[in-house]
Amino acid sequence: MLYAFRYLTYLLKAKDEHSLHSPFLFDLYENIIDSFAEYYKYKGIEAVREEMLLSDKIIEVTDLGAGSRISKSNTRKVSSIAKHAVKQDKYGKLLFRLVNHFKPKIILELGTSLGITTCYLATTHSENKVITFEGCPNISSIAKNNFKKLELKNITQIEGDFDEKLPNELAKLDSVDFVYIDGNHRKKATLAYFRQILSKSHNDTILIFDDIHWSTGMEEAWEDVKSSKEVSITIDLFYLGIVFLRKEQVKQDFVLKF
């Protein structure tokens, strides 16, 4: 009920390109966010999703995050994970377009799940490197198989708790260019990941937060991110929040139709 109310509030607030005066934002909205461009690479990824949706496999899951609203059981159907945990194609395609446009070299994803969105992040060009983190070994192994099917060789899988693995992996990197945070939707954890990632970010690093309206805690985390001094532009698309650090932009928060 509360979630539906939050969505209604978003719909009432959301604007289109006419509210954007900066050329950077106007171009971003017109050509990337609100784009219907289709890329041939989508086909293979969606075929893998279809296969996952039709799978009758049941696996044991290790949940290190905020849990699922759909199932509290420690066994789950792969088809149910594909239906409820994996981001819809609309969002995977948006991430693809962002990566295709900004060409980040080092991409992090917190929350691999079955690897469908990881494929969208990794498939634009093979020169980028995607490091994806997942706490459940059984889920991670299905993702590994999916990457093989699409012959994606630029993905490194890290298995284990984000709390432990993220600092280790960040310590090995000079900087990160693009980060998609889609796991452990808790306020404290989300803000802790944000702070750690900021320490390896640069002016053009882009951060994407998933499910920014999922709970009161996630909405509070999103407010904290928006008000951080390092952040200039934020874009609320309801299911995703996009964050830019670009110092040349005037600090501003947008709610845009998607």
150 in Cβ contact with 126 (< 8 Å): no
Question: Given the rule CB under 6 A, which of 7-15, 22-30, 160-168, 169-177 is the region that contacts ligand SAM?
Answer: 160-168
- Looking at the Cβ atoms of 132 and 232, the one nearer to ligand SAM is 132
Residue 234 makes contact with ligand SAM by CB under 6 A: no
Residue 239 makes contact with ligand SAM by CB under 6 A: no
Give Cβ neighbours of residue 27 (< 8 Å, ≥ 6 apart): none
Residue 130 makes contact with ligand SAM by CB under 6 A: no
Rounded-to-integer distance, Cα 232 and Cα 229, Å: 8
Binding mask 58-97 for ligand SAM (x = CB under 6 A): -----xxx-------------------xxx----------
45 in Cβ contact with 123 (< 8 Å): yes
Walk across the sheet containing 106-110 and list its strands: 155-159, 129-134, 106-110, 178-181, 206-210, 240-244, 233-236, 252-255
168 in Cβ contact with 198 (< 8 Å): no
Residue 157 makes contact with ligand SAM by CB under 6 A: no
Can you point out the beta strands (E) in 21-80?
Answer: 58-60, 75-77
Q: Which of 96, 81, 90, 132 is nearest to 111 (CA)?
A: 132
Question: Given the rule CB under 6 A, which of 1-9, 156-164, 228-236, 240-248 is the region that contacts ligand SAM?
Answer: 156-164
Least distance to ligand SAM from the beta carbon of 85, Å? 4
User: Which residue in the set 27, 30, 161, 230 belongs to the binding site for ligand SAM (CB under 6 A)?
Assistant: 161
User: Which residue in the set 29, 147, 162, 244 belongs to the binding site for ligand SAM (CB under 6 A)?
Assistant: 162
**Number of amino acids touching ligand SAM (CB under 6 A):** 21
Residue 50 makes contact with ligand SAM by CB under 6 A: no
Give Cβ neighbours of residue 3 (< 8 Å, ≥ 6 apart): 213, 214
Task: Tell me which residues in 190-229 interact with ligand SAM (CB under 6 A).
Answer: none
Task: Tell me which residues in 99-118 interact with ligand SAM (CB under 6 A).
Answer: 111, 113, 116-117
